[in-house]
Amino acid sequence: MKRLHWKIFALAASITTGLALAAVLLAPAGAFTGLTFLKLVVVGLLGSLALSWLVVRMALDPLEQIRALSGQLATGRRDQRLLWSYGDERDATAIALNRTADRLVREIDEAQREAQQLEAVLSSMVEGVLVLDVQDRILLVNPGFRELFGTWGPVRDRTVIEVIRQPEVDDLLAETKTTRAPVIRDVPLRGGADRTVLAHAIRFPAKGPPAGTLAVFQDVTEVRRVDKVRRDFVANASHELRTPLTSIQGFAETLAGGGLAPEDAERCLETILRNAARMRDLIDDLMELSRLENEATATELTRVDVVRLTRELLVDLGKRLSSAALDAHLTTEDAPDAWCDRGALEHVLENLLTNAIRYTDAGGQIRVGIEPKADLLEITVEDTGIGIPEQSRDRIFERFYRVDAARSRAVGSTGLGLAIVRHLVQAMGGTIRVESEIGVGSRFIFTVPRAPEDAEAAD
Ligand SMILES: Nc1ncnc2c1ncn2[C@@H]1O[C@H](COP(=O)(O)OP(=O)(O)OP(=O)(O)O)[C@@H](O)[C@H]1O
Ligand SMILES: [Mg+2]
């Protein structure tokens, strides 16, 4: 029993004992014999003890229940309520306390629901979220943050520099203390693969004394890369167009100046025409690329006999092959049909063969092979040419990329061919890759879907 219980118990016991003793003492003299008197005292004492116990129970039962209720609420149990009914003001107390308990339970539920919602939102964000307290200790980070910065251990109450070791992020967060406006900028991430994140950090709340810092990080590596490719593209395209244009202008001015011998004038005109043709080719390629980028799926699928198409192409290229003293062969006699856009496939093969001719020295060999693979055809264009350095192998499919820009420009190439080829192959649902060895040769391998058995006959 608690102290309060003892006090009430002692009080009730003394009152009842007093009453029993008073009853005995006030009885007329000689009313009890010695033994009967003793028995009466004992019975009186026991009775008073029992009575006191009853009084204590009755007085303390409500308090006991209230204590139990608050204990249950504190430990998270929410179904306990006060159920007594004394028919007096204690009942009103029970009703009031039960209402308070109901409200508390509702508020706890609501707070838990909100916390779960916030947790779900933070977990599903690909952006990294970081919240710092006013002492710059970490309050929370979301899974996106962990993923972005590769941090997996406990972070709570640690500093940012301890956790992610990126001084640029630390500097950015420090800057939020000097301004109430958000600090927004790209931050390069060190380590592993080079990445760029766009960080957006701000002290909160917007008004009043600061309570902490909130920062959101978004991986913009790919966006920035595409941006750079576009900027380079415009710069490259302008440069490539400008070169022949400068030449045209120069020779046209010379012509306009007059006084040229007829054969010199003719040479001027030839140069003008050659450069104009180059400009037209370049613009055609640029338009083709732009068309492919904007309507990648607009290809017309038909059954195509690749063996026949390759043979026809090799015949068409016969003059160029013999003037370059190259031997070109199709090594496959028979192959299943492809299911693709005939014009696109022709364009791809022609581009790869033209490259093989262009980048193979006299006496070299060019081989085309077609091999069925599950639901694909794997087509290989192989040469014994100059080869492609390893560091350039991924880049040759970029627009305007040329391994040796001077040599390429001399032969009038612009570096758009393979960019178009890759687009066309992908638009047909295939892939392209290159294998090469310097001085030994290059092998371009691409895939196109195979025609289904029941498709219309090839044209
Ligand atoms: N078969 C090959 N052997 C060696 N190098 C090659 C071969 N094919 C392509 N390359 C290299 O890849 C670069 C890009 O090729 P791509 O076909 O895109 O451009 P290009 O041939 O220079 O110009 P274009 O095809 O637009 O007239 C070439 O400049 C060349 O350096
Ligand atoms: Mg080319």
Q: What is the pLDDT of residues 337-386, one digit of tens each?
A: 999 999 999 999 999 999 999 999 999 999 999 999 988 999 999 999 99
pLDDT of residue 42: 80
pLDDT digits (tens, 9 = 90+) for 14-41: 776 777 677 667 777 666 677 777 777 7
pLDDT of residue 405: 78
pLDDT of residue 454: 63
Are 425 and 338 contacting, i.e. CB atoms less than 8 angstroms apart?
no
Cα 425 from Cα 341, distance rounded (Å): 10
Rounded to the nearest angstrom, the distance between the alpha carbon of 446 and the centre of ligand 2 is 16
* Inter-axis angle of helices 3-26 and 34-74, nearest 10: 160
Helix (H) or strand (E) holding 265: helix 262-294
Residue 160 pLDDT > 70, yes or no? yes
Distances (CA, A) of 238 to 243, 286, 382: 9, 11, 33
Cα 100 from Cα 105, distance rounded (Å): 9
Residues 6+ away with beta carbon under 8 Å from 130: 138, 140, 141, 145, 160, 213, 214, 215, 216, 217
125-219 and 225-294: identical CATH topology: no
What ligand 1 atom has the least distance to the C-alpha of 285? 26
pLDDT digits (tens, 9 = 90+) for 101-118: 889 889 988 999 999 999
Strands, E assignment, 107-238 = 128-133, 138-141, 183-189, 195-204, 212-219
What ligand 1 atom has the least distance to the C-alpha of 386? 4
Residue 455 pLDDT > 60, yes or no? no
CATH architecture of 125-219: 2-Layer Sandwich (3.30)
CATH classification number, 225-294, choose in 3.90.1170.50, 1.10.287.130, 1.10.390.10, 2.60.34.10:
1.10.287.130
Structure token digits, residue 339: 């299911």
Q: CA dihedral in degrees (424, 324, 438, 281; nearest 10)? A: -40
Structure token digits, residue 4: 């309060």
Residue 71 pLDDT > 90, yes or no? no
Which residues have their alpha-adjacent CB atom under 5 A from ion ligand 2? Answer: 355, 417
pLDDT of residue 82: 84
DSSP sequence for 234-249: HHHHHHHHHHHHHHHH
Structure token digits, residue 150: 């590769």
What ligand 1 atom has the least distance to the C-alpha of 420? 18
Fold of 302-449: Heat Shock Protein 90 (3.30.565)
Using a 6 Å cutoff on CB, does residue 403 contact ligand 1? yes
pLDDT of residue 304: 94
CA 60, chain centre distance (Å): 62
Percentage of the chain beyond pLDDT 70 is: 92
Structural domain boundaries in the chain: 3-107, 125-219, 225-294, 302-449
Instruction: Count CB neighbours of 129 within 10 A.
Output: 18
Average pLDDT score, the chain: 87
Instruction: Count CB neighbours of 216 within 10 A.
Output: 20
Residue 130 or 409, more confident: 130
Using a 6 Å cutoff on CB, does residue 417 contact ligand 1? yes
Average pLDDT over residues 280-309: 84
Residue of 10, 6, 39 whose CA lies nearest to 24: 39
Distances (CA, A) of 426 to 336, 422, 448: 20, 6, 9
* Inter-axis angle of helices 89-124 and 34-74, nearest 10: 30
Structure token digits, residue 79: 């179904």
pLDDT digits (tens, 9 = 90+) for 170-225: 999 999 999 989 999 999 988 777 899 999 999 999 888 889 999 999 999 999 98
pLDDT digits (tens, 9 = 90+) for 393-432: 989 999 888 898 777 777 778 889 999 999 999 988 999 9
Cα 306 from Cα 310, distance rounded (Å): 6
Cα 211 from Cα 207, distance rounded (Å): 10
Are 402 and 408 contacting, i.e. CB atoms less than 8 angstroms apart?
yes
Rounded to the nearest angstrom, the distance between the alpha carbon of 271 and the centre of ligand 2 is 22
pLDDT of residue 202: 96
Which of 41-55, 130-144, 145-159 is least confident?
41-55
pLDDT of residue 31: 67
Determine how β-strand 376-383 pairs with β-strand 365-373: antiparallel
Residue 456 pLDDT > 60, yes or no? no
Using a 6 Å cutoff on CB, does residue 356 contact ligand 1? yes
Residue 448 pLDDT > 90, yes or no? yes
Mutate to test the pocket of ligand 1, among 353, 408, 445 (most ligand atoms within 8 A of CB): 408
What ligand 1 atom has the least distance to the C-alpha of 402? 29
Distances (CA, A) of 183 to 10, 160, 204, 215, 219: 71, 17, 12, 9, 16
pLDDT of residue 163: 92
DSSP sequence for 382-402: EE-SS---GGGTTGGGSTT--
